[in-house]
Amino acid sequence: MSVLYPIFLDLADRPCMVVGGGPVAEGKVRGLLAAGARVTVVSPTLTPALAALVAEGHLAHERREYTPSDLAGAALAFAATGDRAVSRAIRSEGRERGVWVNAAEAAERAARSRAQCVTSWSAISRRTSAASWRWWPRCAASSASEARR
């Protein structure tokens, strides 16, 4: 297994892609929207909550399967289809284009790889001095209660 490197990204007004329209994709979308990203979802179907976000104009939706060119111009992409072959194709395109890709099923197999959003730099300095990684605060929009909706 690779060693994972924690990183913080300022995604405000950056184009981000989520491939998949199920509950896992919904959680990724909520976190990206909370970070101020411009989100596009590629999926033939959406959860009711994602469909509502599209209807309200919070994100763009391409109603189709992933195609090898979807990551063009993206700053960050999430593969959340549940299909390992599609995730491999997305990761491959990401490497070719220099787009960072997170594949949901790869994260589910790895222990403690799910990062949360940080909304306060004071929380970082206050909690990292305690030498504990259990401090990761959640974005309001990606809290456990929101993710279950």
Is 6 domain-assigned?
no
Please give the torsion angle defined by the CA atoms of residues 82, 85, 91 and 96, in that order, rounded to the nearest 10 degrees. Answer: -150
Is 2 domain-assigned?
no
Q: How far apart are CA 143 and CA 13, in angstroms?
A: 22
Is 118 domain-assigned?
no
Q: Contact, 4 vs 24, CB < 8 A?
A: no
Is 140 domain-assigned?
no
Least confident of 28-32, 65-69, 129-133: 129-133
The pLDDT tens digits of the residues spanning 82-104 come to: 999 999 999 999 999 999 999 87
Mean pLDDT calculated for residue range 105-125: 51
Is 29 domain-assigned?
yes
Q: Contact, 68 vs 55, CB < 8 A?
A: no
| Tokens describing residue 5 | 């490197």
Domain count along the chain: 1
Instruction: Determine the structural domain holding residue 80 and report its residue range.
Output: 15-112
The CATH number of the domain holding residue 68 is 3.40.50.720
Is 139 domain-assigned?
no
| Torsion region of 20: left, alpha or beta (phi above 0 gives left; psi -120 to 50 gives alpha) | left
Mean pLDDT calculated for residue range 4-25: 92
